[in-house]
Amino acid sequence: MEINQVTHRLSLMSSGIWQRGKEEEGVYGFLIEDIRKEVNRASKLKCCVCKKTGASIGCVAPRCKRSYHFPCGLQRECLFQFTGNFASFCWTHRPVQIITPNNYRESLPCTICLEFIEPIPTYTILRSPCCKNAWFHRDCLQVQAINAGVFFFRCTVCNNSDIFQKEMLRMGIHIPEKDASWELEENAYQELLQHYEHCDVRRCRCKEGRDYNVPNSKWEIKRCQCCGSSGTHLACSLLQSWEQNWECLECRGIIYNSGGFQKAKKHTLPNTNIVGINDCLLEESSPKLPRQSPGAQHKDLLRQGNKFRRDISTIIIELGFQIIKKTKRLYINKADIWNSALNGFRNQKFNPSYTIEVVYIHENDNFGIEHPGSKQEFLTLLMQHLENSPLFEGSLSKNLTLNSQAVKENLYYEAGKMLAISLVHGGPSPGFFSKTLFNCLVYGPENTLPVLDDVSDFDVAQILIRVNTATNVADLNSVMNECYNYLELIGCLRLITSLSDKYILAKDILTHHVIKRVQAPFESFKQGLKTLGVLEKIQTYPEAFYSIFCHKPENLSAKILSDLFTVHTLSDAQSLGFWNSYLQAVEDGKSATTLEDILIFATGCNSIPPAGFKPTPSIECLQTDFPVGNKCNNCLALPITNTYKEFQDKMDFAIRNTLRLEKEESCHYIGQ
């Protein structure tokens, strides 16, 4: 049977044989005498690839004399059509897809395997005829066609089958006339008849394991009332009885965004100012707090919270309980903070739960001297670099960029991982996320509507403004015609029948540019944020994390700094008086330094981290010529002087020049 099938395939492609018999005659309709004649003919033909005889397949292009074996043709990228007369084309005359040039400036993902490819039609890269922004590897399409069969093989984006199959057959994709492989598999859907019995909460408390299920006890597994594909032991989610409602995190986020939950009282998020875009279309309402089940409310009350309103410092301190005493030393070059951090975190021996010990090194130091460093200063510098890195775009509120090289190097994952580690280990507030990026993380991209402020590309922003400000159908069609290539590329071409269509068009452009375009970076970044359970906490307490992800910390004041620093015993009373006067003078703008400069000088941080400082910042008075900041211990040594003027001059001089030298040492790399 296998020999007959091989003979059948070769007969279909051979140039000198026809199917003259019925299906049951000979080999699938190819008569034995015809096969013998074709074998005799092919024995006289030499393959233009391997130079051996037996090349029964020839190019159908007029005047082309090339003949080749089927495997040799595949190797040389010849094209075989498995339809009609089963024509074969050599590498010179094979059909090509005609694509408008200069439309594609960035890599796009194969919509089957999601690996990024250059959107240029070649033998190995094909484009969908019905969705202009859908691209595929030939191999991915062929595997899908074999598995789906003629009844299920269709465009992965729009589900079109007729136009899609016709083009794929023309381009040499074999679509077998059979049912889909998953329909032929015996008991393929047997698992759908089984109840889900597994505890999926992050910390399962059952000593017998996550699959342990004892009905009518606290170890009975309760399934998500929405999807039924996630579960929890009653005790693991503090549910009092099986009758109580319970939703998994994913379903909670979806229902939460769909209006199924009540809005919490006194819960407001700052509105994003939108210029030139209709509010009802592009403005996004503030996230709503979930209406919790009694069991979830009880859990929050036990944690001294109410409806997920919890203090962010408490949450991060709880995350910090995962850190163990075992230390991991990171060798950090301040002039190359990103790469040295990347090398440290990618080290096989690095564990996010280990206590981080920072050692500063210098490239030009021939003696290899190591300098103890401040962990919080290192994390602050790392977050500053991350904020200004090519992984994010925007001015103040930032979204992810589409950087193909960064995707290949898995840098978005590393960025998410760094951010999670920084928060848990006492780093600063990120403070630069856009509301859209934050909502995508919490509720999912499919439940998030971007706004114009999320678009940092000037040309795209202008298109959006022109679309929204169109006053009639003619103006709207004019914009469509001028931007035809771009709209075709992103799959947003649509038939305009009324002026109200502009709102849907603007929404489609926004969603593609801000969300769909960066799908691969977002998923990678999201996976990195799962480190140490940070993403789960963000999704559980969105309101608390919103304050530190989307807003910079509150401005420092003289009182905040005065209360922040504890005073060591036996300190000079006059110097402490000078210190308080100096803080007030700095706040009033009567000094060359700022309150942030003072905090950086003493701790390496320009703001108070969400989890606070460890150790607590302190002050001592010493017989020194100038103040000294010990960033490892968060200790500030004040000089003892006779007059306040002398005290202020020494403080200003030391702080200003120290920070200037440190900035000059590393500013050539931060922000690149």
Tell the burial category of 635 from Cβ atoms under 10 Å away from its Cβ (0-12, 13-18, 19+).
buried
Backbone angles phi and psi of 110, in degrees to 5 = -60, 125
Residues 48, 41: Cα–Cα separation, whole Å: 16
Select the more confidently predicted residue: 403 or 184: 403
Q: Which amino acid, one-letter code, is at 80?
A: F
d(CA 634, CA 620): 11
Tell me what the mean pLDDT of segment 95-113 comes to. Answer: 75
Least confident segment among 308-312, 424-428, 485-489:
308-312
Q: Residue 557 — pLDDT band, cuts 50, 70, 90?
A: very high
At 342 the pLDDT is: 94
pLDDT one-digit tens code per residue, 71-90: 899 889 999 998 888 889 99
| Residue 177 pLDDT class (50, 70, 90 cuts) | confident
At 236, is the pLDDT very low, low, confident or very high (cuts 50, 70, 90)?
Answer: confident
- Residue 249: the pLDDT is 76
Residues 6+ apart with CB under 8 A from 660: none
Q: Tens digits of per-residue pLDDT, 327-384?
A: 999 998 888 899 999 999 999 999 999 999 999 887 655 445 677 889 999 999 999 9
Q: Does residue 251 carry a pLDDT above 80?
A: no
Among 132-136, 139-143, 262-266, 519-523, name the one with the lowest average pLDDT: 262-266
632 carries an active-site annotation: yes
- Percentage with pLDDT > 70 across the chain: 81
pLDDT of residue 623: 80
486 DSSP β-pair partners: none
Q: What is the pTM of this model?
A: 0.55
> Residue 185: CB partners within 8 Å, gap ≥ 6?
none
Binning pLDDT at 50, 70 and 90, where does residue 45 land?
confident
122-138 pLDDT, tens digit each: 899 999 988 877 899 99
Does position 100 have pLDDT exceeding 90, yes or no?
no
Give CA–CA dist 420/298, Å, rounded: 28
Contact 89, 60 (CB under 8 A): yes
Contact call for residues 45 and 56 (beta carbons, < 8 A): yes
Q: Look over the chain and give the mean of its residue pLDDT values, rounded to a whole number.
A: 82
pLDDT at 274: 34
Residue 662: band (very low, low, confident or very high) from pLDDT cuts 50, 70, 90: confident
Domains of the chain in sequence order: 1-89 (3.30.40.10), 108-183 (no CATH), 558-668 (3.30.2410.10)
pLDDT exceeds 70 at position 213: yes
Helix axes 2-13, 32-42, angle to 10 degrees: 60
The residue behind tokens 């592009």 is 282
Mean pLDDT of 99-116: 74
The active-site residue, picked from 155, 632, 635, 667, is 632
Q: Which long-range contacts (CB under 8 A, 24 or more apart) does 153-158 make?
A: 155/128, 155/130, 155/131, 156/111, 156/112, 156/128, 157/111, 157/128, 157/130, 157/131, 157/133, 157/491, 158/128, 158/130, 158/131
Summarize pLDDT for 262-313 with one digit per residue, the tens: 433 333 333 333 333 333 333 333 333 333 333 343 333 333 333 334 688 8
Mean pLDDT value across residues 57-78: 90
Query: Could you read off the pLDDT of 3-20 as tens digits, one per residue?
Result: 444 444 455 566 556 566
Give the pLDDT confidence score for residue 182 in this predicted structure. 76
Q: Is the pLDDT of residue 116 over 90?
A: no
User: Quick check: helix, strand or coil at residue 98?
Assistant: coil
Whole-number pLDDT of residue 263: 38
